[in-house]
Amino acid sequence: MTCNSGLGFLCGVLRPTAASLLVMGCLATPAAGDDVIIERGPFPVAIGAHTFRLDGLIAKPAAATNEKLPLALLVPGGPEASRGNLNPMLYAPIARDIARRGWLTAVVMRRGYGASEGPKPLPLQCKDAAFAQRLATDADDLLATLAFLGRRADADPSRAIALGVSGGGAAVVALSAVAPLGLKAVVSISGGLRAEGGCRWQPNLVNAYRDFGKLSRIPNLWMYAANDRMFDPDTAEQLHAAFLDGGGDVTFMAFDAVGNDGHTLFSDGDGRHEWLREMDAFLRARSLPTWTRAQIDDVMKKLDYPPDILYSNALRIITDYFAEQGEKALAHSNAAAFIGAAPALWWNGGKPSLEAARTAALAQCSKSAAQCVIVMENFAWVGGGR
């Protein structure tokens, strides 16, 4: 995603494909100067009387060398037909974004997903207890993964969140009903499960969510797009109402249409910008790690914008920049404080590398101003300004 912020609107969008996300993940392996370190799994976890090696990866801030970090569990979804082809490296870009917010982030493939050991789940049928049973199994996987990660020397298991997409979103809602010690919040994006065969599966899923609500007292954040082809607005609202009826704590966000199918909310460039923003606000409200207003104020101080309408516009632009996905860069013109009535600031995000983000941000700046310099890379101030 790019922004000609001097004009105050988005001027282009990059929607990464699965192939480009894989490239981005491979670029994330540890390297000199990288701000996030990626470790590959597997994770040997104990479930019942057995040990399974679950495929996954860990992303952590490179600067966090001697501190215990809170845990963030990232749980992918995936259709039944392609479940075996899932690779955790596809999720490395968003794992890096969460790690930059101060988390030890683990992507985990549940049993039967990708290269993880364990039995593949049976096709989901329209039976009363089928959805609850499937999701209880998923919760067992996540509970065991949190226990494994909590034994790491660099982990603080007393503070954990779980974030899931599609079927992974339903799994983290189920985890919130188990309420493991240390789990502080759950984020579900386009969350749910569907049965095969075209039967009327919605009532059984709704009943499972009502039962989860009876047990869950952990704050949940659920986000759906209006044109989600898997879970339409009526289904999403039924899940919401059922969870609330059970007594669950949930913040529900309904976004406008995203692309051709709102079920891509998690991966679509525009969609990711929106849900990251809402997740950040949700975490801040619960005193959980993410970027803060103090960081934005520090950037504003370094740029030295006067307290007038220009300041307000610059503040909005920099806030948008902080909410954007990586890899991202913010460019500033040293030749002018503003272009017309807008601040001389341009950002570009959602690129496969920092170099690509720098190049794009400088190109946007150079269209309107001279002496363009990069002042921020991801969340780090790198110099420049007036």
Distances (CA, A) of 75 to 78, 146, 282, 302, 381: 10, 12, 19, 38, 31
pLDDT of residue 196: 73
CATH class of 17-266: alpha beta
pLDDT of residue 19: 33
pLDDT in tens, the chain (386 residues): 544 343 332 232 233 333 333 333 333 344 444 899 999 989 999 998 999 999 999 999 998 888 899 999 999 987 665 566 789 999 999 999 999 999 999 999 999 888 898 887 777 777 777 888 889 999 999 999 999 999 999 999 999 999 999 999 999 999 999 999 999 999 999 999 988 777 788 999 999 999 999 999 999 999 999 999 999 999 999 999 999 999 999 999 999 999 999 999 999 988 999 999 999 999 999 999 999 999 998 998 888 876 666 678 888 999 999 999 999 999 998 877 667 667 889 999 999 999 999 999 999 999 988 889 999 999 999 986 44
* CA 145 to centroid of chain Cα atoms: 18
Residue 362: CB atoms within 10 A of its CB come to 17
Asked if 340 and 311 count as a contact pair (C-beta separation under 8 A), the reply is: no
Supply the DSSP symbol for 80. G
Q: What are phi and psi of 336, to 5 degrees?
A: -150, 145
Distances (CA, A) of 5 to 11, 331, 339, 364, 381: 9, 10, 10, 9, 18
Residue 99's Cβ-side half-sphere holds a number of Cα atoms within 13 Å equal to 28
pLDDT of residue 89: 93
pLDDT of residue 107: 97
Rounded Cα distance, 360 and 185, in Å? 35
Distances (CA, A) of 227 to 193, 196, 205, 237, 267: 17, 21, 20, 13, 15
pLDDT of residue 369: 87
pLDDT of residue 190: 97
Q: Using alpha carbons only, how large is the chain's radius of gyration in Å?
A: 21
Percent over 70 (pLDDT), the chain: 86
Q: What is the tens place of the pLDDT at every residue in 207-224?
A: 999 999 999 999 999 999
Residue with tokens 């759950």: 186
**Residues spanned by CATH 3.40.50.1820 within the chain?**
17-266
DSSP run (H or E) holding 282: helix 269-285
Rounded Cα distance, 179 and 191, in Å? 18
Rounded Cα distance, 15 and 208, in Å? 34
Phi-psi region of 385 (alpha: psi -120 to 50; beta: other; left: phi over 0): left
Q: What is the residue-wise DSSP string for 226-275?
A: TT-SSS-HHHHHHHHHHHHHHT--EEEEEE---TT-GGGTTTSHHHHHHH
**If you count DSSP H runs as helices and E runs as strands, how many of each does the chain have, helices first?**
10, 18
